[in-house]
Amino acid sequence: MGNANHQKTIIVLLCVLVVMMAFVVGFILMNGGKAPPSEPVAQGAPSGAIAPAQAPVSLAPDPVLPVAPVLPARVERVAGLDPPLNPTRGHATTPYEPAKGLVGWTARQNGCNVVQKGTEVHIFGVNDDDGWDKENGVTSVAEFPVGDFEASVDMKMPKFDGPGKPRVYLKIQASNTDYVGIQYVPEYKYYLVQRWTAASNQMGRTVRDFGDEATTYHRMNLKYDAATHVTTATVDDKLIGTVTYELTGAVHMVLAAGQDYKGHDIDIYYDRPTLSIGGKTYELGTAEKP
């Protein structure tokens, strides 16, 4: 009996040993020849192959700076070489001729013609120099001692176009170049009263134009009170304004087109200029002498 139990124990142990050996052999067969797992190795591109494109790097855009405005260039015109600004106007843009046959006036010419017919003064052409002192017009030959005066002239302006600031003047100018005057400013369509000296320039009040200055004469008038030094400016009896300034020495009348740049197409008429001073009225632009 004891031997039988001993044999059974040995058989059971042998079976267990066989099962364990079978398990070990099976495990070896399943994993045989395989290398243990390792870290992946980066591989280079095959010889002659093109490497794949790298993804673009995203950078913050540079700030966009504001672009400075491009200002139109001022067109320079040369009298006699450039075509007229308005071919239908009929005024020659050939080099101007020195004024001839003026009566009671001295011409001021910077590119424009000055023609007198009776008391009418016609200024036309293209100015050829820069500067406010480069006017085209006339200055009265006669000079008068400063006193109470009243100066008047009719003005019409068919055309005054160009690259700058056109002005149509009636001035009473002293011998030291100081003056009081009226400006017609076509770009802003008004008249203004002005006092000018070499040291300062005073602009007074303004009044709107009539809108028909191209075809109709309007009378500009300056009245000076020697006691108060007040000059009153009117146009067609409409008040423009006043300025206060003492004129000294002798005075004369100036009728002129002024501007800051050359290249203006100018067509201006003045007529019936008069100056009342010293108790007498003079018709300027005639043979009458003070």
pLDDT tens per residue across span 247-290: 999 999 999 999 888 889 999 999 999 999 999 999 998 876 66
Residue with tokens 């006699």: 80
Tokens coding 150: 């009243």
Amino acid identity for residue 180 in this structure: V
CATH architecture of 131-259+272-283: Sandwich (2.60)
Q: In which band, very low, low, confident or very high, does the pLDDT at 83 lie, cut at 50, 70 and 90? A: very low
Residue 268, strand partner residues: 123
> pLDDT tens digit string along 175-214?
999 999 999 999 899 999 999 998 888 888 999 999 999 9
pLDDT of residue 96: 79
Residues 6 or more apart from 267 whose CB is under 8 A from it?
89, 91, 123, 124, 157, 158, 159, 160
Q: Which of 30-39, 69-78, 255-264 has the lowest mean pLDDT?
A: 69-78
Residue 87, pLDDT score: 38
The residue-averaged pLDDT of 15-36 equals 61
Q: Which residues pair with 117 in a beta bridge?
A: 120
**79: pLDDT confidence band, cut at 50, 70 and 90?**
very low
User: How many other β-carbons are positioned within 10 Å of the β-carbon of residue 47?
Assistant: 5
Residue with structure tokens 């001021």? 108
3-state secondary structure 133-188: CCCEEEEECCCEECCCEEEEEEEEEEEEECCCCCEEEEEEEECCCCEEEEEEECCC
- pLDDT at residue 6 is higher than 70: no
pLDDT at 289: 66
Is residue 220 pLDDT above 50, yes or no? yes
| 77 vs 135: which has the higher pLDDT | 135
pLDDT in the model for residue 32: 55
Position with higher pLDDT, 273 vs 36: 273
Q: Beta-carbon neighbour count of residue 99 at 10 Å?
A: 19
CA dist., res. 117 & res. 145, Å (int): 28
Among the listed ranges 6-15, 39-48, 96-105, 213-222, which one has the minimum average pLDDT value? Answer: 39-48
Contact yes or no for 184/168 (Cβ under 8 A): yes
Q: Domain boundaries in the chain?
A: 131-259+272-283
This prediction's pTM = 0.68
